[in-house]
Amino acid sequence: MDIIFGNAVDWLFQPITAAYALAAIGIALHFGFTGLLNFGQAVFMAVGAYGFSISVKVLHFGFWPSVLVALIASVIMAFILGIPTLRLRSDYLAIVTIAAAEVFRFIVSTTSAQPITGGPQGLNEYSDEFWAMNPIPNGHYKFWVWDYTEDDIFARAVAWGLVIAFAILLAILVRSPWGRVIKGIREDEDAVRSLGKNVYSYKMQSLVVGGLMGTVAGILFVLPTSVQPGNYGTTLTFFIWTILLLGGASTVLGSIVGAMIFWSLLSLTSDLLSAGVDNGVITFISQNQIGDIRFMLVGIGLMLLVIFRPQGIFGNKKELYFNA
Amino acid sequence: MPNDIAKGPVAPGCEKVDPILIANNVRRQFGGNVAVDVEHVEIPRGKITALIGPNGAGKTTFFNLLTGFDQPNSGDWSFDGKNLAGVAAYKVSRMGMVRTFQLTKSLNMLTVMENMRLGAQKQPGESLLRALFKPLWIKNEDSITATANELLTRFKLDAKAEDFAASLSGGQRKLLEMARALMTKPKLVMLDEPMAGVNPALTQSLLEHIKGLKAEGMTVLFVEHDMHMVRNISDWVIVMAEGKIVAEGPPNEVMKNPAVIDAYLGAHHDSDLGADKIAKGK
C-alpha cells in the first residue's frame, strides 16, 4: 500500500508532471487570459524537443546554444501560426494549431527525415552536458519508499524551478497593464481596438510568450528521457487542456496543481486497479486492460469536476456566474 | 435662418465653417447592396451632430468605415486635416477619434475600474517588457486611476468601481462605455445609439453627459432614432437614407424637410391606396 501511495506522491514531482504544468501555464496565458484557442500546444513542445535534440545530436551544438535554437524556432513557429490567423475569428487559430501540430509530427516521423530527426525511432542521448551540470554528489538518496539517484533529484529541481519561475512571470504579466489589455481582448477585442490598442500585436505577443513556455516544457519533457514522435499527437495537447481546465483556466496556480492531480490520479488509479487484480479483488478485468480503464476513471472524475466545480479548482465562481 | 455652422447655403453635403471631419465619396457595397454612398459630408467642430435615418440607412456602417472598423470600396476622409482612409482602427482612436458601439461592449470579466484604466493612453506598462518592472509604470497607473475615479464619480459609477462590469445594468454599461471612451482624452466622440435600451430617467442623464462633453470642448457625433432626443441636444442634424445623405441642417428645420419625412414614412405615405386601387391590383 505504501508503494501505491508512494508512487502517486512521486508523480506529483516527476519532471514529466513539471513539463505538463509548464505547457499548461502557456495555454493559461493563451486561452485563460487572452482568449486564444491554441489546440496545438503539442507543436510548441515538439519544437522544443526536436529543436534542442537536433541541435545537440546533428549540429553538435552545446547545451545552451541548443536551448537558444529551440527558443528561436518556437518564436518562428508562433509567427507562422499567428500571422495568417490572428486577424481572423478565434476558431481559425484553433484549426491551424491543431493541424500544424499533426503536420509537424508527421514530418519529423517520416523515415526520409531519419538522419536528422531519427524518424519513427526519435532521438536519444543528447543530455550528457545537462547531467554534467549536476552539482549533487553521486549516490542514492532514499526517503520513505523512494530511492532517487542524483540525476533524478537534479532533473526534478531544474524542472520545478523553471515551473515556479514561469508561474511568477505569468503572475507578474497578468497583473500588469499589459495583462489588462490581453484580458480586455479576451472579453471583446473590438472594444479594446476602439480604445487605441493594437490588438493584433498583443495577440501575437501572447502567442509567442505562451508558445515559449510550451517549448521550455518540451525540452524539460525530453531531457531525462528520449524524443519520441508518437508523444506529440493530439492526446498531448488534450491532456494539457485537461490539466488547465482542472485547475482553472484564468489562474496561475491552477495549471501546476492541475498537472499534479492529473498525474498522481493516473498513477493511483492504475496502481490500485493493478493491486486489486493481483489480489483477486477485481476479477472482471485483466492486467493489460488497466491502462485504458484508468483513463476512463479519470474521465469520470473530470466529468464530476465539470458538473460540480466548472470553474476549476482555483477558478473564481463569480466569473462563471456572469457567463451563464 | 442664419447659423454659425454652415458656410454657405444649407444643403445635403454643405461646407462647414470649421469642420473636424470631412468625408468624400465614401462607398461601401455588400454584394449588390450599396450600404453607404456618401458624396460629401462635413462634421462641425465643437458641436453636437446627430446622424439620423431609418433602419438600414447605413448609419452604423458609415460609423464603422469612418473609425476603421470596416474598409470602404472607395472614398477618402480626413480627421483634423489628417487623412484617415485605410488607417487601422486603433490608430484612429489614438488620433483622438473614439467611438462606442450600438451593442454595448463592456468588458464583462474586468472590473469597472479596470475597464476605465484600459481606456488610458500611453501607459508604459502596456508594453510586454516594461510590464515586468512595476516601478516603470506604477506612477502612471496612479494618475490614470485618479482620472478614472473622477470620471466614475461624474457618471455615478464610483460605487461600482470594484465590481465586474458584468454586474452592471444595461444603462450603466452604456455609461461605462462612454466614460471609458473619455479616458482616451478624445477630440471627437462618436456614439452609436447611446440611448438604445436605456430607461427614460437614465436617458435624461445621458443627454446631460453628452451636453457636458460639448461644454468641455469635444465634438460629438451620435446616431439616434428618437427625433425628440435629437431635437433636445443636437446643434446640427444629418439625415441618411439608403446609404446617402438626404438632408442636413439645424434640428428644427430638418424635421420639416420633405426628404426627411419621406425617408422615415416612405415617399408615398400620403398618396391614396384606396380599396378599389388595391382590389384592381398592381
* Span B160-206, pLDDT tens digits: 999 999 999 888 899 999 999 999 999 999 999 888 878 888 888 88
* Span A13-45, pLDDT tens digits: 999 999 999 999 999 999 999 999 999 999 999
The residue of A174, A194, A251 whose CB has the most chain B CBs within 10 angstroms, and thus the best one to mutate to test that interface, is A194
Rounded average pLDDT over A96-115: 92
Longest C-alpha distance within chain A, in Å? 68
Q: In a 3-state reduction of DSSP, which class is residue A281?
A: coil
Is residue B135's pLDDT more than 60? yes
Amino acid present at B8: G
Percent of chain A as helix, strand, coil, to the nearest 5: 75, 5, 20
Rounded average pLDDT over A75-89: 92
Measured between beta carbons, the chain B residues lying within 8 angstroms of A190 are 69, 89, 101, 105
B184–A319: do the CB atoms touch at under 8 Å? no
Is residue A324's pLDDT more than 60? no
A188–B107: do the CB atoms touch at under 8 Å? yes
Instruction: Name the DSSP letter for residue A123.
Output: B
Least confident of B22-36, B78-92, B266-280: B266-280
Amino acid present at A303: M
> What sections of chain B are H helices per DSSP?
59-66, 89-94, 112-119, 128-131, 138-154, 170-182, 200-215, 227-233, 251-254, 258-265, 275-280
Q: How many CB atoms lie within 10 A of CB B56?
A: 14
Q: Looking at the complex, does the CB of residue A195 fall below 8 Å from at least one CB of chain B?
A: yes
- The rounded radius of gyration (Å) of the Cα atoms in chain A is 20
* Span B93-108, pLDDT tens digits: 999 999 999 888 989 8
| Separation between Cα atoms, residue A146 and residue B216, nearest integer Å | 72
- pLDDT the model gives residue B132: 93
Set of cell numbers at residue A177? 497593464
The domains of chain A are located at 2-323
- pLDDT the model gives residue B276: 57
Please give the sequence-ordered ranges of beta strands (E in DSSP) within A111-254, or none if there are none. Answer: 140-143, 146-149
Q: In a 3-state reduction of DSSP, which class is residue A165?
A: helix
Beta bridge partners of A147: A142
Confidence of residue A311 (pLDDT cuts 50, 70, 90): confident
Residue in A closest to B120 by C-alpha: A195
Residue in B closest to A197 by C-alpha: B90
Which residue in the set B90, B108, B125 is minimally distant from A193, CB to CB? Answer: B90
* Span B38-56, pLDDT tens digits: 999 999 999 999 998 888 8
Question: CA nearest B182: which of B160, B154, B142, B201?
Answer: B154
Mean pLDDT of chain B: 87
Question: CA nearest A50: which of A278, A177, A219?
Answer: A219
Which residue in the set A194, A318, A319 is minimally distant from B93, CB to CB? Answer: A194
Rounded average pLDDT over A230-256: 90
State whether ipTM is beyond 0.85. yes
With a CB cutoff of 8 Å and minimum separation 6, the contacts of B14 are: B6, B7, B8, B42, B248
Measured between beta carbons, the chain B residues lying within 8 angstroms of A198 are 88, 90
Q: Looking at the complex, does the CB of residue A75 fall below 8 Å from at least one CB of chain B?
A: no
- pLDDT the model gives residue B280: 53
Q: How many CB atoms lie within 10 A of CB A324?
A: 5
Is the Cβ–Cβ distance between B237 and B52 less than 8 Å? yes
Strand B74-79 relative to strand B82-83, pairing: antiparallel
- pLDDT the model gives residue A130: 92
Residues of chain B with CATH 3.40.50.300: 19-106+186-280
* Span B3-31, pLDDT tens digits: 678 877 788 878 888 899 999 999 999 98
Set of cell numbers at residue B226? 428618437
- pLDDT the model gives residue A71: 97
Mean pLDDT of chain A: 89
Q: Which A residues in the span 155-174 are in contact with B, Cβ-Cβ below 8 Å?
A: 169, 172-173
Confidence of residue B1 (pLDDT cuts 50, 70, 90): very low
Beta bridge partners of A211: none
Is residue A69's pLDDT more than 50? yes
Rounded average pLDDT over A145-159: 89
Rounded average pLDDT over B121-145: 93
Q: How many CB atoms lie within 10 A of CB A314?
A: 18
Q: In a 3-state reduction of DSSP, which class is residue B35?
A: strand
Chain B positions with Cβ closer than 8 Å to A: 67, 69, 88-91, 93-94, 98-101, 105-110, 114-115, 117-119, 121, 123, 125-128, 131-132, 134, 137, 141, 164, 166-167, 177, 180-181, 183-184
A190–B105: do the CB atoms touch at under 8 Å? yes
| Separation between Cα atoms, residue B76 and residue B122, nearest integer Å | 28
Q: Which A residues in the span 304-323 are in contact with B, Cβ-Cβ below 8 Å?
A: 318-319, 322-323
B105–A191: do the CB atoms touch at under 8 Å? yes
Is the Cβ–Cβ distance between A145 and A2 less than 8 Å? yes
Set of cell numbers at residue B266? 416612405
Give the up-direction half-sphere exposure of residue B144: CA atoms within 13 A in the CB hemisphere.
23
Backbone φ and ψ for A147, nearest 5 degrees, come out as: -135, 105
Residues above pLDDT 70, as percent of chain B: 93
Pick left, alpha or beta for residue A60 (phi over 0 → left; psi -120 to 50 → alpha; otherwise beta): left
Closest CA–CA distance from residue A243 to any residue of chain B (Å): 22
Q: Looking at the complex, does the CB of residue A184 fall below 8 Å from at least one CB of chain B?
A: yes
Is residue A259's pLDDT more than 90? yes
Residues above pLDDT 90, as percent of chain A: 57
With a CB cutoff of 8 Å and minimum separation 6, the contacts of A281 are: none
Q: With the C-alpha atoms ordered A69, A70, A74, A75, is the resulting torsion angle positive or negative?
A: negative
Is residue B282's pLDDT more than 50? no
Least confident of A37-51, A224-238, A305-319: A305-319
| Separation between Cα atoms, residue A240 and residue A42, nearest integer Å | 9
The residue of A87, A180, A198 whose CB has the most chain B CBs within 10 angstroms, and thus the best one to mutate to test that interface, is A180
- Please name the CATH architecture into which domain A2-323 falls: Orthogonal Bundle (1.10)
For the sheet containing B236-241, what is the strand order?
B97-99, B188-192, B219-223, B48-52, B236-241, B244-249
Q: Which residue has the cell 488610458?
A: B120
Q: How many CB atoms lie within 10 A of CB B199?
A: 10
- pLDDT the model gives residue B266: 67
Which residue in the set B93, B118, B125 is minimally distant from A184, CB to CB? Answer: B118
Residue in B closest to A250 by C-alpha: B109
| Reported CATH class of domain B19-106+186-280 | alpha beta
